[in-house]
Structure 1
Amino acid sequence: MKTLILTIVLSLFASTSLNAQWEILNEGFKGWINSIDFVNENIGWIGEGEANLLKTTDGGETWNSIPVNENWNINQIDFLNDSVGWAIATIYNSSGSWTIIIKTSNGGYSWLVQKQIADIWLNSIYIIDGNNLYAAGDNKIYKTLNGGLSWDDVSPNIQGSYYRSLWFQNPEYGVIVGDYCDSTGCQGIILRTTNGGSTWEQTITNEFSDITNLQFLDNTTGYFTAHSDTIYFLCKTEDMLKTWTVITQTSTNISSYKFLDSATVYTAMSNGWNENSIKKSTDGGVTWQNIQSFSFLLNKIYFNSSKVGFLLGGFGAGGRGGVYFPFLWKMSPESLNWEIKKFSYPVLDTYFINNNRGFLFGGAFIGHCGDRGDILSTNDGGKTWELKYSIGDSCIDGGTFTDCIFFDEFTGYCLAGGIYKTTDGGNNWAEIYEFYPDPFIDSFHGNDMYFRNEQIGWVVGSYEINTGETAILKTTDGGYTWDVLYNCPNTYNLHSIYFSDTTGWAVGESGMIVKCIQDEWVKTTPLTDLPLKKVFSIDDNVWISGGYMNDQNSFAIFLKSDDNGQTWIKNQAIPYLINDMYFIDSNLGLAVGADKANNGVILKSTNGGDTWEVIVDSLPGPLNSIFIKDNYGWAAGPYLVLRTTDAGTTWIDDRNNKTYPTEFELKQNYPNPFNPNTTLSFVIGHLSFVTLKIYDILGREIAILVSEEKPAGEYEVEFNASNPASGTGLSSGIYFYVLNAGGRTLSKKMCLIK
């Protein structure tokens, strides 16, 4: 937990208006990102694996989400212009999997399925012009001559082949590469056609085990990547891959590359955690300069027509079938530095030294290599972020960063698999104490810490392997040594610790509450068997939150005491799981968490936690951390970073300095009943593609009043029942009007009386 200077915060909040503001600083990705395409220097798209598309109209500075069919996983996108594009997507359900080829004619806002193929994985699509396209994957090749109205199978009958990349000079002349595997192993395969796929010239080479990533600068000069065993190659061809030369070979995977001209090329190289970098060559790939190193996997590097670079990468958590946390970086031609523009990250804690300098802390279990932890920093209040420090690379389990505290602008401590310290304001971190030097010996896992000053602090957690006991540790020398003050065998984790004056509180699994007075910790009588997640206290006031939720039920609990734990008020009717909270005084508090659908919420209480007002809800993903300092506040979770400047009940968009309501709202029409005219009003909080439609009581569509992209704001639309879009007047009765924006839907009914 955090130690703040309450007298300062109190004086500033005393003049705070309740009409405060939250702004979204970062809205992350919900699925893996592996495809990007621009049609000019401003307009581009990114395909998300989880039924989503992102679009930019300002050269990649901001990206707006466009929901697509919830059953589609977008794998590859290719756009002809700012309206027309194609994508390859995959559908999974209980009966199998299908690949679909889809087309948009309105910039990605709606899509039409053109072809559906069972049990085939297409991974590459190439647009020659508006009529002629090719798509390939597995051992199949398809082409269309009419913009996708029909697709023909032009595959040669080569069993064991897998096509990975394709390029066409014109509808007749092209090349496809991949790998061919039989009982002896895998080899590279090259297919060439000069008659639109009617026949294919085949080359199988044992120099490589696979070939991929075709790129051509012109009709003769092309490049590809390949690998064999543990060696990776970047190759050049000037005769449609009849011959080639190896220009680079390395033991690091060349996951992506981009030639800007015959001399300048960038590569994204990635070999897990410890070898991830962007390299640049100015001699056509012969020699390389290391530009920047990363602790994340790098998936795709791309440059638009203005030579602005974009990098797609991230990491997966939870092992196979887990969650992906993607990052998007951008590089301008004026700088070689790659700046994080948008990201998802499992944030567990937040801390700001001042209104500009702050940190996000977190991490996750990443599979057989254990946990990883990272520290991200900002110098502009959270608008842009930089990865400062990572642990757990090279398959060394480093733990996740769960808590942090600073004592001044230079000195701070973080908790992970050990205690980490900075003395230069978070630019550099060093481990000063390791809780589990040998993972095969009983090791302590810390979940939360509290420092009274720079020397005295406590950590709560549990021993993991042999004893399985809860423990509280204390340091009196700034974290360099720790002593066990309290342990309780055969119990579960303690999750949170907090102190007010000389009284300390720690809470954990199975309703466990431990109280400390004058360094003596005593377990109190349990009030619940639910897990307790967070504790906060001021003077004699103590607040504890906990529980869990699923799709069907809420098992959240909130405990409150105003007499230092002698008596408790228990609230199990709260419909939200509170993950973190901060009280300004005994009455005014803010909390963050999630509802039972795991949507994020921000709550506010003005009566000491007796009741909670919803400030913001329906956010994409839970919020795990809240931090308040000097009239500013930040809230963060895996998919969002938000900021308030005055206690937060609306949010603002710094891109245009407008204030927007957080709610997505459809208002009751006026007048109602009506004849024949009425006004429909609605509010949207983000740039979205919006539809507003009228339906009769049988569900038939009567009129479309709105069908276009609109910026955030309040809108009014006039509806005339005597002249709807259908061209006929309506009879008296009940009608429904339905608003859809950004994948969210609201509806209301209205009454026409003639």
Structure 2
Amino acid sequence: MKKLVLFLFLTAGMLQAQFVDWQWLHPKPHGNHLNDAVILSGGKILTFSDAGIVSISTDGGSSWTLLRPDTVAGNRSIYEADFVNDNVGYAVGTAGLAMKTTDGGATWAQLTTNLTSNIWYVDFVNENLGYIGGSSGKLLKTTDGGATWSEQVIGGTTSVLVYKIHALNADTVYAGTGSATPGRLIRTTDGGATWSAVSGYTATGTVRAIYFVNPQIGFVGDALYAINKTTDGGATWSPVDYGTGTFYEIKFATDSLGFAAGADGNVYVTTDQGTVWTPSFIGAAPTSNVYGLALGGNLAAGPKSAVSVLAVCEAGLAVLSNNSGATWNILGTSLNREELREIAFVNDQFGFATGGSGTAGDSLGVVFVTNDGGMNWTQLPFNPKFRVYSGNFLNTQTGYVSTRGNSGVFKTTDGGTTWTQQTLPITSTTTVINTTQFWDEMTGYVATSGGDILKTTDGGATWTALPDPHGTTAIYDIELFSASDLIATGTSGKTYRSTDGGATWVNLNPTTTTLYAMDFPSPQFGYLVGSSGRIVMTSNGGTTWTTQTSNSTATLYTVKFFNDSVGFVLGSVGEVLFTSDAGTTWIPYTQAPSNATFYSADIRNGGLYAVGSRANIIKGLFSGNIPVELTSFTASAADGKVILDWTTATETNNARFEIQRRSGNEEWSVIGSVRGSGTTVSAKAYRFTDNSAVNGIYSYRLKQIDFDGSYEFSQVIEVNVGMPSEFALYQNYPNPFNPSTMISFALPQSDNISLKVYDILGNEVAVLLSGKLDAGNHTVEFNAAGLSSGIYLYKLQNSAGNALYGKMNLMK
């Protein structure tokens, strides 16, 4: 085991190195806005997105490889790409990003343009001759494949934005801007030596799309949702208005067949050289912008007269048509792209996420579940007709989700197959239930946007309104320390603690800024986050608070800590902050998904899970392998039980301890698990009781597992389990269980015994043992696969008529 000094040198910078990357779990391949795409030969597709991701598919979109080619900043968004052949391509984006590939996108080289502002567009005539344009009135030309660039004089001021470039040939090039000076549509006919406004173009919308079929016939799409057509080389133009929106791209496959990227989930198609444009709905949300189009030869079997069209949109959506826009197929996987508000894991494999549409007319609430640690998600067949704002699963079967109003809490006891709607003692039908927290199967709390705190002590059968000092202002989060000890926080920083189950409350006064979430990694250490980058911390259970410097102005919606010192805060505009020193310093993590809002997070399986806008579910992965310093590990046996105790001096990224046992030369078997303390420099003590050991000599060891999956074994210790001194029956383990559990008992002498199981009404449902057994400790397995969920009793009786009873809970 490595020593304490290794932890003492762990700085915030080192922690950033440990936080290696985001893994996209939903949607796939990712959920960043897609800005452009290209189709190359052989079915190869490249898409370009916010946050600098290049996604490559070589099988027509069935599978994808994700690259981050920006070696300077790592996360600059890519706005536009242009390939002159299957190997040579160029890409541009934010903060002066300009790159070139000569191997079909596998690798990229950074180009030096001396621009630091956004570059919106790139268009090349051939491998060497091309143009880029962007912010600050910049339009640059290269004649040597991007090795050097010369600035074009286009007139206007530095506030001009050059959004579009279309090179008809080496001499004639069009550019679109957002300003009347130098002109919304400008042109050069001498290879860039001079530029002037196209005098016949009088439309006032910002030009975002340009395409000329030939020198005479051309099209311009603008931010007023009009397509303007010329048939005389730009001398005159005829506009067609399509309502509200922006046309971001126009491309033609032939002189007659063209496509325009719309702003309402439509690609507009013309088959008559732009006389009529017909919308073709691509299957995205009706409000989705289509930002880019790529045209290619037919990628599917069928008539080669058809054209493949790839439309790329918001939220990572790429949609492919292999029949010239008649029908569309979504590439990648997505259950939907609505907002997710909550994520939590019950164990390493089972987790849930909730959300849905905030538009009343959509009538959509969703619950996603995973059974493989988040790698794959399914949507439950349950729609409460409103967004699911919060939820709480107690195990894989029993859970609660909440929407809004006095009937907005739903309970499942079968893993989400069926749900029971519950009634709350409030009158509003629209107040949002922001948080749902249960301590155990019986006791739970919900809080609302109307300042209500409601409590159940019978598993949701009935609810009671608690006296609450928040008044009618919103409560956003509740933290439970026990069934009766809780903190509630919300609007204007109102934060109160009750230690008597909500009967009375004490004002904690952390801040006057609205707070959205809290996390207490231990009873004394707690963190609250909220509006305007606010983070407050207590190290004494809320008696006093310290406002921390986050250097953020984002709205912070969620906070999760590994331990008292190491944690994460997430919020709007893709904000992700982390600390390794209890918030003394907060470091922004720059490669988070772009412009997404994160509403909820959980820590599990070696990383940080987060959900938010666009149905994003992501996992921040961790590296680093500083194990735990184990200072003692002992075992003692009594009355058929083995008690294991161990202590640690320090821990770093310690997820859990796995307890393993063997007898003689048997293989090691896992008999239980104890959660670790993450990262801490404080001594920690742990205990585990083995109730299933019978007479004999046993070996035990600990498998200490880090959050990144790395592990180490402890030394092996032995214990001799001797003869019991009294007739005893022990609590079954595990409990609750599904479908099997172990029942242990002790016999001080050989005896005829019976072990039977009864339902709650006293009906016998199983005979586990009946006959003579030797003295000693015994364990019997009870398999309840054929029984329904509920409380069951087990009875052990000896020949003298002495009976012992136990109670167990089957939860399916």
What TM-score, normalized by structure 1, do the two folds share? Answer: 0.53
Q: 2:603 aligns with which of 628, 638, 653?
A: 628
Q: Is the 8 A contact 1:84 1:107 kept in 2?
A: yes
Q: 1:541 aligns with which of 523, 529, 545?
A: 523
SS of the aligned residue for 1:69 comes to helix
1:446 aligned partner, one-letter code: I
Residues 628/154 of structure 1: CA separation in 2 closer, same or farther (3 Å cut): closer
Per-residue deviation, 1:336? 4.2
Name 2:468's counterpart in structure 1. 487
2:200 aligned partner, one-letter code: P
What is the rounded CA distance, in whole Å, between the counterparts of 1:180 and 1:535 in structure 2?
42
Task: Please give the per-residue CA displacement for 1:53-110, whole angstroms capped at 9, x wherever unaligned.
Answer: 654566663253445337856665545578875455455xxxxxx6x54557899999
- Confirm or deny that 1:556 pairs with 2:556: no
Per-residue deviation, 1:449? 1.6
What is the rounded CA distance, in whole Å, between the counterparts of 1:642 and 1:524 in structure 2?
37
2:421 aligned partner, one-letter code: I
1:68 aligned partner, one-letter code: T
Kindly report which structure 2 residues correspond to 1:593-612, keeping only aligned pairs within 5 A, or say none: 593=569, 599-604=575-580
Structure 2 stretches lacking a partner, 5+ long: 1-13, 59-63, 69-74, 77-92, 97-115, 300-307, 323-327, 628-812
Name 2:66's counterpart in structure 1. 62
Q: 2:448 aligns with which of 451, 461, 465?
A: 461
2:501 aligned partner, one-letter code: D
What is the rounded CA distance, in whole Å, between the counterparts of 2:40 and 2:339 in structure 1?
33
Name 2:187's counterpart in structure 1. 143
Residues 331/544 of structure 1: CA separation in 2 closer, same or farther (3 Å cut): farther
Name 2:654's counterpart in structure 1. none
Q: Is the 8 A contact 2:468 2:505 kept in 1?
A: no
Name 2:271's counterpart in structure 1. 236
Q: 1:328 aligns with which of 317, 321, 346?
A: 317
- Confirm or deny that 1:568 pairs with 2:594: no
SS of the aligned residue for 1:522 comes to coil
Per-residue deviation, 1:374? 6.5
Name 1:704's counterpart in structure 2. none
Q: Is the 8 A contact 2:211 2:220 kept in 1?
A: no
What is the rounded CA distance, in whole Å, between the counterparts of 2:245 and 2:517 in structure 1?
52
Number of aligned residue pairs: give it. Answer: 526
What is the rounded CA distance, in whole Å, between the counterparts of 2:147 and 2:421 in structure 1?
52
- Confirm or deny that 1:522 pairs with 2:504: yes
Per-residue deviation, 1:180? 14
Per-residue deviation, 1:473? 1.0
- Confirm or deny that 1:419 pairs with 2:409: yes
Name 2:391's counterpart in structure 1. 404
Quote the RMSD (CA, aligned, Å): 5.9
Name 2:168's counterpart in structure 1. 128
Name 2:23's counterpart in structure 1. 25
What is the rounded CA distance, in whole Å, between the counterparts of 2:31 and 2:175 in structure 1?
26
Residues 79/549 of structure 1: CA separation in 2 closer, same or farther (3 Å cut): farther
What is the rounded CA distance, in whole Å, between the counterparts of 1:649 and 1:596 in structure 2?
32
What is the rounded CA distance, in whole Å, between the counterparts of 1:117 and 1:101 in structure 2?
12
SS of the aligned residue for 2:199 comes to coil
Per-residue deviation, 1:524? 0.9
What is the rounded CA distance, in whole Å, between the counterparts of 1:572 and 1:211 in structure 2?
44
What is the rounded CA distance, in whole Å, between the counterparts of 2:245 and 2:570 in structure 1?
46
Residues 422/109 of structure 1: CA separation in 2 closer, same or farther (3 Å cut): farther
Q: Is the 8 A contact 1:549 1:596 kept in 2?
A: no
Residues 360/332 of structure 1: CA separation in 2 closer, same or farther (3 Å cut): farther
- Determine what percentage of the aligned residue pairs are the same residue: 17
1:328 aligned partner, one-letter code: L
What is the rounded CA distance, in whole Å, between the counterparts of 2:261 and 2:311 in structure 1?
21
Residues 436/547 of structure 1: CA separation in 2 closer, same or farther (3 Å cut): same
Bigger relative CO (Cα 8 Å, ≥ 6 apart)? 1
Kindly report which structure 2 residues correspond to 1:349-368, keeping only aligned pairs within 5 A, or say none: 349-352=342-345, 355=348, 358-361=351-354
Q: 2:437 aligns with which of 445, 450, 465?
A: 450
Name 1:312's counterpart in structure 2. 312
Name 2:331's counterpart in structure 1. 338
Name 2:253's counterpart in structure 1. 217
Residues 380/74 of structure 1: CA separation in 2 closer, same or farther (3 Å cut): farther
What is the rounded CA distance, in whole Å, between the counterparts of 2:147 and 2:226 in structure 1?
41
2:66 aligned partner, one-letter code: T
Name 2:99's counterpart in structure 1. none
- Confirm or deny that 1:175 pairs with 2:218: yes
Per-residue deviation, 1:558? 0.8
Per-residue deviation, 1:451? 1.8
Give the structure with higher Rg (CA): 2
What TM-score, normalized by structure 2, do the two folds share? Answer: 0.50
What is the rounded CA distance, in whole Å, between the counterparts of 1:446 and 1:516 in structure 2?
20
1:591 aligned partner, one-letter code: G
What is the rounded CA distance, in whole Å, between the counterparts of 2:409 and 2:149 in structure 1?
51
What is the rounded CA distance, in whole Å, between the counterparts of 2:242 and 2:317 in structure 1?
35
Residues 472/39 of structure 1: CA separation in 2 closer, same or farther (3 Å cut): same
What is the rounded CA distance, in whole Å, between the counterparts of 1:112 and 1:386 in structure 2?
53
Residues 616/53 of structure 1: CA separation in 2 closer, same or farther (3 Å cut): closer
Q: Is the 8 A contact 1:38 1:79 kept in 2?
A: no
Task: Please give the per-residue CA displacement for 1:504-555, whole angstroms capped at 9, x wherever unaligned.
Answer: 21232455443444534321143434445444558x82443236575xxx86
SS of the aligned residue for 2:254 comes to coil
What is the rounded CA distance, in whole Å, between the counterparts of 2:24 and 2:466 in structure 1?
41
What is the rounded CA distance, in whole Å, between the counterparts of 1:103 and 1:363 in structure 2?
47
Structure 1 stretches lacking a partner, 5+ long: 1-16, 92-97, 249-253, 255-266, 270-276, 279-292, 315-325, 464-469, 651-754
Per-residue deviation, 1:627? 1.6
Task: Please give the per-residue CA displacement for 1:411-456, whole angstroms capped at 9, x wherever unaligned.
Answer: 5433343335667867x89793698999xx6853322221234554
Name 2:288's counterpart in structure 1. 297
Kindly report which structure 2 residues correspond to 1:39-118, keeping only aligned pairs within 5 A, or say none: 44=46, 46=48, 55-56=54-55, 61-64=65-68, 65-66=75-76, 68-69=94-95, 78=123, 86=131, 89=134, 101=139, 114=152, 115=154, 117=156
Task: Please give the per-residue CA displacement for 1:645-679, whole angstroms capped at 9, x wherever unaligned.
Answer: 689999xxxxxxxxxxxxxxxxxxxxxxxxxxxxx
